[in-house]
Amino acid sequence: MSIQAFRMQLKPGTIDEYRKRHDEIWPELAALLTESGIYDYSIFLDETTRSLFAVLKLRPDNSRDALRSNPIMQRWWDYMAPLMEVEPGNRPKEWPLVPMFHLS
C-alpha cells in the first residue's frame, strides 16, 4: 500500500457545482477507480483559496497510471474541465504534496 496526496485548483464560482458532481459520482467511475487499486480516497477544500487537497491509498498492484487512457476517465475529465485548472486533454492539474508527518 502507498499513499499519494496532491493539490488541484478550482476556478472561481465552481465550488458548489464541484461538490454536486462528486456527490453524484458516476457508478462506472467509482468502479473504475476501485478496480484500478485506488481506495480510501478523499478530497478536501480550502475555501479561501479554492485549492483541493486529495489523499488516496493505492494497492501494491494498482494501475492508476493507466487511468489516463481509459474512456470513462477521459469523459469525467471533460465533464470536470470547466470547473478546474487542467492540462491539455483536460486532466486536472496536480501538484504533488510532500509527506511531512504521519501518525498511525
Q: Which of 1, 3, 22, 30 is catalytic?
A: 22
11: three-class secondary structure by DSSP = coil
Known catalytic membership, residue 102: no
CA distance 46 to 64: 25
Distance separating alpha carbons of residues 58 and 65, to the nearest angstrom: 11
Q: Where in 27-100 does DSSP place strands (E)? A: 38-46, 51-58, 95-96
* Contacts of 29-32 spanning 24+ positions with Cβ under 8 A: 29/72, 29/73, 29/76, 32/67, 32/70, 32/72, 32/73
Which residues are catalytic, by number?
A: 22
